[in-house]
Amino acid sequence: MFANRSQIETSLSPMELLDRLQAIEQDHGRVKLIDKGPRNIDLDIAIFRDEVVDSERLTIPHMLMHEREFVLRPIMEYVFGGMLVVICAHANKIRSLEAMKEWRNPRTNQRLVSMHSQVRNTSQDEIYTTTTLAAGNSAQASIPTRQTQIMSILNTTPDSFSDGGSNALDIQSLRETAAAHIAAGATIIDVGGQSSRPNAPDVSAEEEIDRVLPAIAAIKSLPEAKGIAISVDTYRAAVAEAAVNAGADIVNDISAGMMDPQMLPTVARLGCTYIMMHMRGTPATMQNPENCKYPGGLWKTIHLELYHRISDAMKAGVRKWRIILDPGVGFAKTQEQNLALLDLGRRSRTNLPRRTRGMPWLVGSSRKGFIGKITGVTEPKDRVWGTAVAVAASIQGGADIVRVHDVKEMAQVAKMADALYRRPVALY
């Protein structure tokens, strides 16, 4: 049985639970007309903790579960006590957790990797996570040889701190910029219609929608954009819904659902991938001294606060396999803290909350103020070299996605960093 949280709790024994399920079926008027044929309700027990049952009425694990994709996918997400504990045993045949990674769609014979959340490699004690971005495009956290995904920034705001709003409401410019980003190596294009810089003027949701929808349409009109994920950078549920309905694949929320109470249920209903960034306060207040204090430790506190946001998101119905995390470089952080965030806590991840372990991370350091302060470069557009070092450091630290302005240059940086830091384990 799988509910919104991918599991249920019961004090019943397996047989008592079966009796209860069959009573529910009868109450709903289940009538079996054709053996193995369609029915108006069908309740089964696929797995029951680590128990094995083999009787005339009940077999656990379900005998044919490996043939049913709709059963395999939620099992991949089965979380018990914060850990993946799927036991796939039947009689004398044990299906190991390692073997789960080879499960395939019984119809297409394709591996079931695009939707499952966590698969523990028992031999190396690592967790592998795959988060769908778009067709044929995914972020695969903790796989040593994974390729860094390049998220390019496409601003449609006239007051963008970094590119001066060069693309604002100019459809041809949007098309040309998006095409150039894709040619340079972008696999995700992040469309923004509301600046998140400190003290940026606020715009209405309607105006933000009017800015981002033409950009999404411009990207989708490009033949070369097939398979490219489109992200909308917004903290407003109304904008997120309009963008996803227009073709966006991802909602990139700097507030992780804190600035609009409708964001989490909206993302859950849309079923899209959701980037949750760590921030305190709002863009106007985030750099207040109190918001930059982390007495419990920077990384430990960020993980804990994101853990609570993930919990709220899952309660709202957001699937864990759809969540990507962002530590929030430049948001409620000092210069030293920003530098520390470029290392995603590789050495301390095992001591952090389980719910954030193994999840994909996005890091956005491109052209930010702390780079300008360190390098002495005043103009954001001239901070390419400082950004290159920050991008390489974040990839070494474990970033799965890097969000950048200078796509051509940073794509090359990412390729070199991948070659250096993401070699097969056997080569070390």
**What pLDDT does residue 268 have?**
95
Q: Where are the domains of the chain?
A: 14-123, 134-427
Length of the chain: 428
Q: What is the CATH number of domain 134-427?
A: 3.20.20.20
Residue ranges for the chain with pLDDT beneath 50 = 1-6, 78-101, 105-106, 111-128, 161, 164, 347, 427-428
Question: Among all residues, which ones are annotated catalytic?
Answer: 368, 403
Residues 6+ apart with CB under 8 A from 289: none
**Sole residue written with tokens 């969540």:** 323
**What pLDDT does residue 325 have?**
94
Predicted structure pTM score:
0.73
**What pLDDT does residue 142 have?**
62
**What pLDDT does residue 83 have?**
33
**What pLDDT does residue 40 have?**
67
